[in-house]
Each structure stands twice: as structure tokens, then as C-alpha cells.
Chain A
Amino acid sequence: MRVFQFCSSASLEKLTGRKAHNLDELLELVKTCSSSSIFYHTFSAFRKLREVQTPYTNDFAVWIARDLNEEALAEKLLAIDLAEYNTIESLRARILQILEDYRSENPPLFERTAAEPFYLYSLVRFVYLTDKFAYNLSSFRQLLDTISTDSIYYHFIESRLQTQLQTDDFSNWMQENPDYQELAEKIRKIDMNIHTLEELRVRIGETIDKYL
């Protein structure tokens, strides 16, 4: 089993000066904005919204529900499971598809002015190594209690954009050991959409404990 060095990530938010006053304008923003803007309003938003137990997985859905009262469209967007996307472009395509399908059914709705505009952000994202190394499952388990929630978020959710895998880093690492195939499968099945990061930490820890 290779050594697992824990990483973490952090973001600095940037203002773009671009905004949408209605759904047509939002559609245009989603089509033309940078991938870091899509990342900010989906992966980065998910990390924050999940911690305060909202059902929202992205900022687009929050705005559509709050400022346009268009709950049905918001629901379609919040049903997007980020775990299924390992590239920003595939995620952008999915959001566009939902918006365009909805527009074809409700064209006038897309011209309705929202209570407040949607402000487009982007970000600078930093991925960095920490000084924590796991040499085996036992040391991994000990370190799990000490790493930051940012680190949990990075390995369990965000890193799939780096690895292009449809899985988290933890189960991917465990899978390297023939004895931990079942454990890896159980870790992979933990639903990141349901738990806060602290709850994820607990669930992952409890799952590993059964194999130590």
C-alpha cells in the first residue's frame, strides 16, 4: 500500500462584475463563464451549503428558489449529484441542459425579472499538501480525527476533478489493498449529499473501525 499523504484545498473568492437579472441571462452566464465560476457556484457552494444543512447543492438553485420562486426548476438543479461529475465541463453541460429543457417548456418565465440579481463569482483555488502521512489503515484512522474539514472535503468530494475518477480518494487508496476491497466499497457508498463534513468524518471513522 502506498503512503497516503493528506492534501487540502482552499479558495479565494473573486468578483467578476457579471450578473443575471433573469433566467435568460443566467443561461448566458452559465454558457460563457469560466470553469472556475462553475466550480465556485457548485462544488464550492456545496461545501458551504451542506454545512448549514440546506437541501441546496448549488448557488443557482438557491437564487432560483429565493429570488424567482421557481421551486420546480430549483429542485431539478439541486438534484444534481456532484459525485457523478469528474469534470467541470460535464457539469456545466448538465446545468445547461436542465435550464434549456425548462425554457422550452416555459419560455416567458425566462424573461421574468428576479427580486435580486444573481452575482457571478469565480475563484482562485489552491490545492496543497499537509504534513500528515498515513502508512497503513491504522495510522490513517488516527489521522482522520485530526485533519481539517477542508481536507475531508478535498479528498472525499473535490479531488475527483483532479483524478478524473468517479470515486473519492480514501476508498481509492484502500482499494489498493486486497484485504480492504469491501471496506473501500462501503466508504464509497457513504452519501456525501446527506452528511455534513463532520458527520462524514464520523461515518468514515466508524466504517474503518470495523476493519481494524
Chain B
Amino acid sequence: MSIPRLSDYKDVVGRDVVGELYTLASHVGNRSIKMVNSTAVGGGVAEMLHRVVPLLNELGIETRWEVIKGGADFFDVTKAFHNALQGKEEYFEQEVFKTYLAYNEMNYQEMSFDEDLIVIHDPQPAALIKWQKKRKNKWVWRCHIDMSHPNQQVWDFLRPYVELYDAAIFSSPLFSPQLKIPQYRFYPAIDPLADKNRELDEDYIDSVLQKYEIPRDKPIVTQISRYDPWKDPVGVIKAFKMAQRHVDCRLLMVGDKAADDPEAEEILTQVKEAAGDDPDIKIIFLTHSIPTEINAFQRASDIVLQKSIREGFALTVSEALWKYRPVIGGAVGGIPAQIIHGYTGMLVHSAEGASLQIRSLLQQSELAKRLGENGHQRVKDEFLITKLLKRYLLLLLALDHPGKSTVLLD
């Protein structure tokens, strides 16, 4: 499939939504953006930039994307910073900070920053701004990680650089630390035309289920998530087994494991033990998931679960809601932003709660349908890539009018 163009989105989000983007872009005028991050492939940020950059260019916003360079020593440091900023306790020697700054300075010297807006993604290149002494353009730091409980040593080091920016962007107030600069909220977004979300033929969905030997003779309840204790896969099985006493259904657990996660095998063993020899529980362990197959699993499901007990933003919820699936989600992290309980899905706090909701939704098809429809609308309003494009256009306009709460554009 060729790379979608902005006009291709008219059919999925509506002609008026795309038209609105062009209208806003005309108010923005000839502007330029540079996105900077630390990796061209892998991870949600790179995936998102691959889509956002060409689409912003289509809107007439000249947008470039550069990836900073670094040796293994730099990326060891930034990985440790990443974990520390998400709350991991660790003490760092001064050498570590020197390595971080040396690579940031080297990258700064090799790059140019002439665009109207420089968007620096995540902590790896956050200190680039240190060497930009005089600037006419605006610099914004986009933080994609949960910084609500940062390791104080790393944060004390990084914070002075972050506060040199004109603004910071976080995905949720839950993830943001106190800062002296303005903070904007950008929700993460899914691409409705990506392989993981686009429409699929029923025949293809059938073939995927056949491939994994999943009969479609009963309603399917699915959780697609890494085998990780925070996703509570054992709790999902417990909830399913309780529900199974009242409704005939199948459970589909699909997941991979983080490459650097030695606990995954152990969790998988626990999951298999909890499942026992129940023929209605299918556990799939993928080393490399195929996006269209994940899409097919979601579309074949009668209910999608994301029963996390600790979570980042969990865009898997939006992926399922976009496909009109009723979703049962743990009331943690970014899930309540996507699920308004009882209207765009169901929030739960325990395996018992999840079990009740499985029973309820499998036996009340009208309610399940309504949740799916409202959930789809919620994603359309807030969590699609077209909304992200709009936020970037509005950011350009907002930075032109610092301190103003209402701006009338001519």
C-alpha cells in the first residue's frame, strides 16, 4: 500500500476535518518546523514522525526531521536517563552527565536550527538548546514519557535546559513535572490509515484467525499487550474464568515481550499456569508482531481488554475504539482520557470488575454497540493523527501570541 496522502484521510475522518486543516494552515502561512529525535526507526515517536512530517509538508508547513547521532556510550546513558526520569532509583556519576553533554554539543555543532519552530523530542537531545545562545525562532520540548516522579538527580541536571525552551508539551497532566515555562497538552495519536488500523477484508481477518487456530464459534474477548506484570495478564485470565461461568466465550491473549525484559518468560509461564488446559483460552506469544494481524485480532474481537494496573498512555485502547470495539480498561495512566466510563467504554479497578463487565457487554449487545460507536467518535475527536496535525498548526499560532488566551485570526 502506498503512503497515504492528506486527501486520503477525507474518507475516514470527514472532508470537513481535512478542510479545516487547510484553513488553519492558511492562517499559519509559510512557516517551517524542524523535528529532532534520537532514532529513525522503532518506537512510537519515530513511527509518528514518519507520518506527521510528510503530512505537515502537504499542508505547506516546511517540515524537516533530523536524528541525533551518538555512540553506544551515549545511548547507554540516555536509556538510563529514560528509566530514571520515569522513576527508577539510580545514582549517576558526573562522567555520565559529561558524556550526555558532549554528544549533545557535538550534534549541535553538526546541525543547523534555522526553522521557525524547533521541536525537540524526549530527553536524549534536550540539552541541544544549551548552545543556542541567541535565537529568533521558538524552541519547544516534546516529552513523550511519564515524568510525574522523576529521579531527582537526573531531573535536577536536565531541568535548567528544559526551562530554556519557550514551552514544553506533555501527553497528560499526570505525566508532567512542575516547570516555569508554559506547558501544552498533546495527546498521542493513531493513524487510521496505518496497517494496524486500516479497514481489512473479512476474508483476511478469517485467514489470520485460521492461521492461529482460533475458531470463531463463540464471542472473542481479547487482550493484546506485552507480557508484563503491569498489563496484568494473570488478572485477565482470572476475570475471564469468572465470566466464563456465565457466558460462553473465548479468551485471546496476544503479546510480545520487550527485548530487554528478562521477566517476560517468567510472566508467560505464570499466564500459562493460570490458563491451565482450558481449550477456550488461546495464548499467542509473538517475537515480532505483524501490524495487519494485530488489526485482524482486534477486529475479530467482541470485547477488547486493556486491564493494566500501571500504564503509559495505552494507545492500544484508541486502536480498539477506532474499530468500534467495546473496550474494558484499567482506570490508570492515559486510559481514563480515552474511556469515559459508561459512555466510551468501561473502566475497571479489579479482576472482579473486569469479569462483570465482560458478562455485561457480552449479554447486552446494544450497550456494547453504543460504547463502540461513542468510542470511535471519541478517538475521531481527540486521538487521530489529523488532530495531532491540528495541534501543531495551533502551536505555531500560539507561539506567535504568547500570553494570550483568545486570538482572533484575520
Contacts and interface: CB of A to CB of B under 8 A. Distances in A.
Contacts of A54: 340, 343
B344 A52 contact: yes
Interface stretch (A93-101, A122-130, A134-142): A122-130
B56 to A, nearest CB: 16
Contact of B341 (A19, A66, A116): A66
Interface stretch (B62-70, B182-190, B262-270): B182-190
B343 A13 contact: no
Contacts of B122: none
Contacts, number: 108
A15 B337 CA distance: 14
A182 to B, nearest CB: 29
Interface of B: 15-17, 19-20, 23-24, 27, 170, 173-174, 176, 178-179, 182-185, 336, 340-341, 343-344, 370, 374-375, 377-378, 381-382, 390-391, 394-395, 397-398, 401, 404-410
B185 A14 contact: yes
Interface in A42-59: 48-49, 51-54
Smallest CB-CB A-B distances: 3 pairs: A36-B405, A119-B173, A128-B409
Interface string A178-192: 000000000000000
Contacts of A212: none
Interface size, A (range): 35 or more
Contact of A126 (B174, B377, B378, B394): B394
Contacts of B374: 52-53
Contacts of A13: 184-185
Contacts of A149: 16
18 contacts: A8-B20, A10-B20, A12-B391, A14-B182, A15-B170, A15-B173, A15-B183, A17-B179, A36-B406, A48-B381, A49-B340, A51-B378, A52-B374, A53-B374, A122-B405, A146-B16, A146-B19, A148-B16
A14 to B, nearest CB: 6
A15 B405 contact: no
A171 B92 CA distance: 65
Interface of A: 8, 10-15, 17, 19, 34-36, 48-49, 51-54, 62, 66, 116, 119, 121-131, 146-151
A10 B390 contact: yes
Contacts of A48: 378, 381-382
A12 B394 contact: yes
Given A8-B20, A13-B184, A62-B340, A127 B178 contact: no
A8 B183 contact: no
Contact of A124 (B340, B377, B401): B401
A125 B407 CA distance: 6
Given A17-B183, A49-B340, A66-B341, A125 B406 contact: yes
Contacts of A125: 405-407
Given A15-B184, A52-B343, A147-B16, 19 more contacts: A11-B394, A12-B395, A13-B184, A14-B182, A15-B173, A15-B176, A17-B173, A48-B381, A49-B340, A51-B378, A52-B344, A54-B343, A62-B340, A116-B336, A119-B174, A124-B398, A124-B407, A127-B406, A151-B20
